[in-house]
Every structure is written in structure tokens, then in C-alpha cells.
Structure 1
């Protein structure tokens, strides 16, 4: 009996017909693979247990599940055997072979039915075909696309320079004009000698594989392995968003296409409505209202800084007196932060004795400072006593500083008694 062979990437069922949602095929092979190990494993604990799991990669006779490639993430879907349904965790390409990662093994020669997550697939088709359109329009302006990324919410094309606002508007208008023209998107399998192989992945076997060129009407022709729409009309609309600089002169132009535009509009409208309610204003008044709040905040922070300075001066006097009389002092400020303790230490200046400063509310993180002769020894005794369970820090001689991951109820008062005992 002749062995079953798998279809090469480039001629997969999903690449021949991107609209297939269900497909019958056969398992060619099944290989065990080790899942990625947990990053929590420490070098100091080489024998620590790992949460790595055994997974399996299936080679199928053919597939409608697209393997990651060409800037497009892999599909997700389900493989159904005669006994059970199995989620497909990921699909990757190994030279010319599509490998389907699954959590349990499936024996070779098993007949299976594939079902693609259609919502994810169609979204990827909209974004990928839309990227081709955006890049095609940019090409007419002699602005090449250096790379692109299909993200979970936003996608981008990387360009050699930042576009002006006028250029962005012009590209967006032209793209939406092409969408309304309902141009046919089609795939050609040309003579391999006519394909620009510089755009192929380094590990793709061009001689044995199938090279595809995706056309958008007469506007664009580009080598691509991805799944695509059949008509620009299905993109619905394209919105070009912000730009982010990358490297020395490059710019990443972010975009939304198709159903993502509608979802983004709905999300932002809901956000605006919430802001309207919280700010007690209409949408066109939000910017002015935020500007007023920023001014009030700056004024408030200035006043807070002034009053904090007064408190530091007064508290420093109290601490100095306690150090003179008892050679020990303890200050706990639940509403303060480390910068307050640092200011207080600066105001106190030189002293004799032991000073312990703490901040942070109960059930919240905080800080602890120990200063004076034998500060490190005292801090060690605090840690050994277990009075502050989540205390970590370090220092030597006359200064020790640490963080409290979370103050537990009763710990500040217990620490006070320990210091002043």
C-alpha cells in the first residue's frame, strides 16, 4: 500500500479556496513534541519542577487551517476524529509541510474532519488583503512597505519614513475608493522564473514548492502565501490611525480594516459615553474639561508639596527630640510613600541612636528604612522575628532599606513595640 503524502504549503486547500470552513482529510503522521517550559524555572533551582506538557504535531494529507506565514498568524480550529474533537493549538510551516499542534495524539491513517474558526479566519483575510491594498497605494507614491504585522487589535505597515497628515489622508481616501470599485482579488501560479524570490522566506523550498502571486485587479501583484478575500468590497472600509517611529527613520503606520472598524467605533463610542457621565459634559467638551482638571491637579500637587514640606519639618523636630531622650524613634506613615521618608531623613540630618521609618497602608505595599549605628543588624532581627512577613531589602552599617510586599493587619503596631522595647 503506498504511503499517504501531504500537500505542500503553497497548494493547501486553504490557499486554493480561503472560504472553505469544513474539510475531510487523513492523518499522515503524528510526532510528540515538548511544550515550552515555564519561565519561572530559576537558574538557582535547576531541579525545580516544570509545568511543560507533552503535545503532538500532526501532518495531514491536506488542510484548511493556515500555518503562520507571510506576516499572517496561524488559524485556529478543531480536528474531529471518529472518537473525539480536538482543539488545534497552532499551525506552523516546516519547509513545505504544515504541522498542526494538538494536545493528544492521533494515529496515522485516521480519517478526520477539520473546522476552521471562521470569525478569526475572515478577520485575517480582511486585514491581509487590506494590507496588500495599502501597500499597493503607497507603491504608487514610491513609498515601499518594509514589513507588516497583523495584530490582535491593530495592524501596521512599516515604512522608510513618516507620512505627512496630508499623505495619510490621501492614502486612506484612495484605499476606500478602490474598495468601492469592488476589484477582484485573485491568485496566479506563474512560472517560477517570473516570481521575485527575494520576498520568499529563507527556509522555503522554491524549487519543490508552489509560488503564488496575489492580484488586486490590475492595481497590484504581490507574491504571498496567505489567505485572501475574493473582492475588495469585502474589506468594507479602511481607517489609517497613528504612526509610531521605529529605528532611526522608519515609521509604523497603524490601521484597521473591515469588521474591526465597526467594533472599534462601537468601543470608542461606549468609552466616550462613560467619559461623558464621569466628567459631566458632552463629547465636544471633554478636551476642555480635562484641561481644567489638569490645571486643578497641578495646583493641588503644589499645595500638597508645600504642606508635606511643613509636615516633614515639624515631624523632624519630634523625631530629633525622641532620639535625644530615648536614642530610638519610630515613625509609621500609612498615607505616605518612600519619597516622604527620604525627605524626613534629609531634614533630620546627623543623629545618635536608631531610627526606624515605615510607610504604606495595611493590605498595601510599603517601605521600611532603618538608620543609625547597627541598622543592618537591627533589620536582620526584624526579619528573623517575622514581625513583617513580606519584608525584603538590604544594606550595611548605618543604613538599611527594604520593601514590604503587603502590610498585614497588626504588623505596624507590632513593629513599633519591637523598636521601642
Structure 2
């Protein structure tokens, strides 16, 4: 893995050198290149990752040659300088067309041996510098495998939590509270109108009998006729007809019949189950006709 690591580090470092100066640190799990800048943008990281992986796919050759320490060419090769006690020739590692670097380690013979490089992002470094963190080769595969295992474990845990009675009970209570608040707001909005209509019609897919009765209580049924439904828009659901006692007693059974359902009522309220919610329009027409007969001069 050390062979791969040195090739990886040289490739990333050489490409990153187009952005800012660098130094590198090879870790057991992930590696870091220290960039001499306080900021590296996400766009720069993305461009760098794309560039180094293109070079890997291009199978760029990597060669090693030796130069005498006093060879003038040594001065043209990128390095941190030779140790004061160095003797003998120096090794130059060339990535064809990309980089020449003094290095004493073992290197790959071809960039394709690196497989792939994944830049994980940047972290704040020391002394106003930025650390570029990356994985490569088999470490990328191991990281993906670990992430997938973690995701599966979290998904299983989440399913257990969601299916727990305590969680479901809390969710049901929250939904119930929201429905109650919505019912109150709907009623207040209707009552805030300068001249409220004599007929109020509302359908809401999410809701129950309590939802409809809260609206009826808030609006009041002495002067207004209310036709409220909840459930599927075309099939089964619940309905509530509320309003003046005489009107509800007269219209309640007919509303239930039109909706293909059954119901019962008392004191100005008639409610029940409906099997044909698609006929709500016919019920509304019936109610509007009733109101028109009650107010012929209106």
C-alpha cells in the first residue's frame, strides 16, 4: 500500500500545486495534504478530484531515475531540499508531463495502479492553512462498504423507532393537535369575512369527526348551514351536516342518501359515513337550492 500511497500523494500534490503550495502527511486510513492557504473552495476541490482521476484513467507512466547530487537538473526538480548529511546520487520520480520530484520511496510504474482518488473535503489547518483530506485505491472501496453498512444499520434502527408504540402514539397526538389547530383557523377565517355566507362547504382528506365538529362549534350553527366532509375525495369518508335544527332534520337523511351512506343526528347535527364522496357536488347543489327557497327575495 505504501507504493500506492507515495504515487497518490505525489499526483494529488502536483495537481494541487496549481492552486497553492503544499506539504503532505500519509495516514493509515486517510491522508492529508496541507495547503498554504486559509481557504479552498468546493469548486476547487471538485476540479482537483476530476483532474487527478482523469490522469489515472489516462495511465500516465511513472519513471524513476538517478542524478548526481551536483547535477544542475536537481535544482529544477520540485523538492524540500536534500538533507545536510546526504551523500551519493539522488532519486527523481517523474510523472510524465505532470511532475518531477525528489523522493527516496517506492513508487508505482503507472498511475492506473492508483485505481481512484476520492477527496473527502477540507479541514482547518494550523497557522492559517487548510488540510485537504483524501482516500485512494482500496481505501475508497472500504469506505464505501463501511458507509453502506452504517446506512443499513441506521435504517434498521430507524424502522424500530418509527414502529414503536411510543413513537406512533406521539406522532398521532401531534397530528391530532395540528388538525385541531387547523380546524380553529378555518372557522376563524370564515367568521372574519364581512358578510359570512349562509352555506359553508369544506372537504379535507386528512381529518375525522372531531375535526369537523370543532369547525361547527367555532362557526356556530344558528344561522349558517355547514356541510363538512373528510376522507377520500371520490370514495369512502365521513360527513357532517350542521346548522339550524329544522333544516338539518329535513336535509340530513337526503344528504346521507345522496352520499350512499348512513347517518344519524340530533340538535342540529347529522353525521355519518359516506361511500360515494364523489357526489358531494350534488349535496352542495341541494343545500344551495334549500337556502334559495328559504330566502326567495335574496
How high is the TM-score relative to the length of structure 1?
Answer: 0.35
Higher Cα radius of gyration = 2
How high is the TM-score relative to the length of structure 2?
Answer: 0.49
